Amino acid sequence: MKVLIVEDEPTLRKLEKRYLERNKFQVDEASTGKEALGMIEISHYDCILLDLNLPEKDGIQVAKELRERQNDVPIVMVTARSQMYDKLKGFDSGADDYITKPFDMKELLARVKAVIKRSSIEKNDILKLANMRIYPERNIVEKDDEEISLSNKEMGVLEYLLRNRGVIVSAEELLEHVWDSNVDMFSDTVKTHIKTLRKKIDPRKKNIKTVRGKGYIIK
């Protein structure tokens, strides 16, 4: 799961990043609304943690622009004062939830998880592949009553391929969507993860196919 933190206060941004990373999220950071919009255009995020008071474009403008672009990424808006809450409710800003500074990191994590979960239920997911049921939230694949645990990245790769079923997905695209932006784009890491993923759920390579020179596909 990948989160974009949009926060102009570096100390808080680092704190949030560290906490979310410790809880197994991949995290990118932006310090202005404009920068955030640019990043969202090129990368997929499972949740945006969006500060309300930002330079250039504030959180409400960013949320509105995203919704105008038909982007339904879950947004948790971070507001500075409790009275902002009522104001925000009046606005139809497009945020899915709000949290007021100062907040507890645990609460932040709970909100992030909740909006991601809600949006994946809306997308009515139980992902399926052959005789397997895939639960991205729990990093688990169920196969004939057996539960197979995947790592975060293995699940990320599997989920991305499943959501793009029938389409060849390149290693670069996987790196961009499943890893954070610090990943070495020339590394072998996708190959390694496909290998371990196959070992766990597709040892005969029946479901996850390699298309030589192009990438991977689930049909």
Q: Which residues bind Ca ion (CB under 5 A)?
A: 8, 51, 53
Beta carbon nearer to Ca ion, 8 or 173: 8
* Identity of the residue, 49 or 208, whose beta carbon is nearer to Ca ion in the bound complex: 49
Residue with smaller CB distance to Ca ion, 34 or 113 = 34
Give the N- to C-terminal CA distance of the chain in Å, as an integer. 23
Cβ count within 10 A of residue 142: 16
CA 103 to chain centroid: 22
Quote the least distance from Cβ 108 to Ca ion, whole Å. 15
For Ca ion, the closer CB: 8 or 137: 8
Give the nearest distance from C-beta 56 to Ca ion in angstroms: 12
Task: Supply the minimum distance, in Å, between the C-beta of residue 87 and Ca ion.
Answer: 16
| CB-based closest residue to Ca ion | 53
Give the shortest CB-138-to-Ca ion separation in angstroms. Answer: 34
- Cα dist. 144→45, 130, 132, 211 in Å? 32, 11, 7, 28
CA distances from 158 to 77, 114, 136, 180, 186 (A): 29, 22, 9, 16, 20
166 DSSP assignment: T
